[in-house]
A and B are shown apart, each in its own frame.
Chain A
């Protein structure tokens, strides 16, 4: 019952807080918002030709979400525990018979509900537009895309909660989520090329083909893993422009395991499980006051 109590309380406070609504709108904007823009374009261009393929719209949404969701998901979760410590309300949260697991899991589920329900709501609007107005829609592709995006969201809710549970101040937690975003957005790639520099020497850094480990490492990054899954689901085996732009093209001799969908799915699921688990193990032993 305690986990449920924490969950319900947190959801109630999110419902009454600007943060909760702000996060929900930030997820709705690149999903339902894009759907609304598509409807506007279709109304303006009515009769001028076939409607756009639904997959293209989903790809656009996926690219937008790959940039926005990590930060929005962490923004929606990074304060969950550390704020209670900083404001003092943790003395109620854990002075009552809630275990640390209740508190941690309750907050994790609460913030997941906020993000994922917002995502599903946005995707529902997208589906209405896609299946009603656009061409060549596929239910399977759409469902797989939404599931991959939900898993991608969970990864960063996990990071937010884990950072919130180990940080000692809101400022520290803020630095933590910014640092996490920077690492995955740019630092990861720098590490990959630094690895090439170390193993190959300065002049050979960008020489193709890249070694297998470059792709094994690169596609563990949840941002790359998500894009790999999204592109694989939506481009139907075609070497679309999206694939060429978003993903480093492997040479034919590169290990296909590293660049395949199953590896990316596994990477995403790994982050989904490992990050909140590590966060909890650190939180469990931490002095909170």
Chain B
């Protein structure tokens, strides 16, 4: 069974369409990277999955439970870390973790959780005085309470220092080994690439591509061939540009860099360089990074070629995400609001 199943999901905020006929699924035990530029609709999707926002059309299920009508059952099995959360400034870190355990009806050792996320010394301190990183670690700890079957992490590295980001990666890997499904939403591609089995790229409320990272690389089919030579005459560069499938050619004194689609194209380029008798010494090829895949997908080249087929929605897709705001540029502003708010009190 799929851990997450989203079918023809649409969400409109007034005249703006934040999600447009979105369909995808996440298998149980998978670490799924949910990528997208700011305002793509990532947080709106998560908000619908967890019952904060009601869909305009379509359905979302988690472990077979409908997100709209069986949200509580979903959240029993889910640990979530949502961007833009605020802590209860008058509760201690231990009380936050205990609160999560009470709500889930599980017995847990708050100190062990806080130890795991690296803030054991903060157990009896009120969260209102925490740094951003400590709050984030505490929130990760709350998400881990009860060994959830699904972890929903929305920009989980926000506020973490490099050590914190590394710890987070370790936690995600450990949870995955335990059998948990991880839904990792971020616009930080390197972090997604480091932990995810599969990624989906969202743009303007539509899934423009999804699949294994390696599959996406293969589908993008453009890699960089770097050839070390003794000289780089203009005539060679001109002939390389004439090869079908070569997208870009550049050169330094002793290197020719060819961006090419397909292995045959690269072979022809190598042959051309060899024939030019320019002192060929070595070559390397570099596959496209996830960042390049992301750029291609969100700029259009890879759009509508995913394994699920093109999104059938057409026309008035949104380009805005007014309902969540979590993945837009207002994140910092909201953080400031939240920080201010948490100093004012809980009630």
Residues B345 and A5 in contact, CB atoms below 8 Å apart: no
Residues B90 and A97 in contact, CB atoms below 8 Å apart: no
User: Which chain B positions have C-beta within 8 A of A203?
Assistant: none
Residues A13 and B346 in contact, CB atoms below 8 Å apart: yes
User: Which chain B positions have C-beta within 8 A of A287?
Assistant: 47, 52-54, 323
CB-CB contacts of A72-97 with B at 8 A, as 1s and 0s? Answer: 00000001100110111111101111
Could you tell me the distance in whole angstroms from the C-beta of B343 to the nearest C-beta in chain A? 10
CB-CB contacts of A95-116 with B at 8 A, as 1s and 0s? Answer: 1111110000000000000000
User: Can you list 25 residue pairs at the A/B interface with Cβ under 8 Å?
Assistant: A12-B91, A12-B95, A13-B346, A13-B347, A14-B346, A14-B347, A17-B90, A19-B345, A20-B347, A83-B346, A86-B341, A88-B84, A89-B346, A94-B52, A95-B80, A95-B85, A96-B75, A96-B104, A97-B72, A287-B52, A287-B53, A287-B323, A288-B52, A289-B323, A289-B324
User: Which chain B positions have C-beta within 8 A of A94?
Assistant: 50-52, 75
Measured CA separation A182–B131 after assembly (Å): 42
Residues B99 and A9 in contact, CB atoms below 8 Å apart: yes
User: Which chain A positions have C-beta within 8 A of B73?
Assistant: 97
Measured CA separation A2–B86 after assembly (Å): 20
> Would you call B1 an interface residue if the criterion is a C-beta within 8 Å of the partner chain's C-beta atoms?
no
Q: Please give the residue numbers on chain A whose beta carbons come within 8 Å of chain B beta carbons, in ascending order.
A: 1-2, 5, 8-9, 12-14, 16-20, 79-80, 83-84, 86-92, 94-100, 285, 287-289
Q: Which of A13, A95, A287 has the most CB of B within 10 A?
A: A95
Residue of B nearest to A284 (CB): B54
Measured CA separation A226–B196 after assembly (Å): 63
Q: Which of B54, B96, B102, B104 has the most CB of A within 10 A?
A: B102
User: Which chain A positions have C-beta within 8 A of B50?
Assistant: 94-95
Residue of B nearest to A114 (CB): B347
User: Which chain A positions have C-beta within 8 A of B91?
Assistant: 9, 12-13
Within 8 Å by CB of B71, from A8, A84, A99, lies A99
User: Which chain B positions have C-beta within 8 A of A88?
Assistant: 84-86, 334, 338, 341
Measured CA separation A19–B346 after assembly (Å): 9
Counting from the closest, the 4 A-B pairs by CB-CB distance are A88-B86, A87-B86, A96-B103, A13-B346
Could you tell me the distance in whole angstroms from the C-beta of B119 to the nearest C-beta in chain A? 17
Measured CA separation A287–B14 after assembly (Å): 12
Could you tell me the distance in whole angstroms from the C-beta of A75 to the nearest C-beta in chain B? 10
Could you tell me the distance in whole angstroms from the C-beta of B69 to the nearest C-beta in chain A? 11
> Would you call B63 an interface residue if the criterion is a C-beta within 8 Å of the partner chain's C-beta atoms?
no
Measured CA separation A79–B104 after assembly (Å): 25
Residues A16 and B346 in contact, CB atoms below 8 Å apart: yes
Measured CA separation A17–B342 after assembly (Å): 12
Q: Given A17-B346, A94-B52, A96-B75: A5 and B99 within 8 A (CB)?
A: yes
Measured CA separation A98–B73 after assembly (Å): 10
CB contacts under 8 Å to A, within B112-129, are: none
Residues B52 and A99 in contact, CB atoms below 8 Å apart: no
User: Which chain B positions have C-beta within 8 A of A87?
Assistant: 86, 338, 341-342
User: Which chain B positions have C-beta within 8 A of A2?
Assistant: 72, 103
Measured CA separation A18–B89 after assembly (Å): 13
Measured CA separation A45–B54 after assembly (Å): 66
Residues B86 and A89 in contact, CB atoms below 8 Å apart: yes
Residues B54 and A97 in contact, CB atoms below 8 Å apart: no
Residues A285 and B54 in contact, CB atoms below 8 Å apart: yes
Q: Given A91-B84, A97-B104, A287-B52: A79 and B347 within 8 A (CB)?
A: yes
